[in-house]
Structure 1
Amino acid sequence: MTLAKVKNLYDQDFALWIEKTVKQLKSGYLSQVDLENLIEEVESLGRRDKRELKNRLITLFEQALKRRYLPLSDCYRGWEVTIKRCQSQLKDILKDSPSLCSF
């Protein structure tokens, strides 16, 4: 498959583009890899991880502030569950990508 067809495939069938790109990378056919879109996707993964970390931190802080300052004891249990879940998710994210600790 030519590089032009592979680039066209990116817009038409993303799942197939991924499959072909992985196959080309594993086979060493680097000249056939759609580098432009591959770079874009890899950069997107990095942004996604940062967004996820930011969202978990925001949720954690919101729930912790509610728990601390709102006198709604009926809601405490739910807030505490959310806090624990966010803490666990943050640990997982930072375990997978320790460099995000500086983010």
Structure 2
Amino acid sequence: MKNTFVVAALAALFSLPLQAADPAPLSQGEVRKVDAGAQKITLRHGPIASIGMPPMTMVFEVQPASLLEGVEAGDKVRFQARQEGTRYIVTELQVVE
């Protein structure tokens, strides 16, 4: 009887739809430098909620490198970043017109 209950409970649990976490809002910044060869971008940015970072200017890695296409110093951007150890990586980048 217990096994039947456990199996039924697990079946019910795994049949629930998965709820996607709300994505963090995009942060805003200004491009200071683009280094396409090194897949890096220097941004002067506001707070980055997704990683709890205050406003500053810093260098980020960019993945995928194609995000840098058409991006130039002086562009205003919205972006998403993640932290992997001591690395900060831009994973979404949109030029604001």
Q: TM-score, normalised by structure 1?
A: 0.21
Between the two structures, name the one with larger relative contact order (CA 8 Å, sep ≥ 6): 2
Q: TM-score, normalised by structure 2?
A: 0.21
Structure number with the higher strand fraction is 2
Structure number with the higher helix fraction is 1
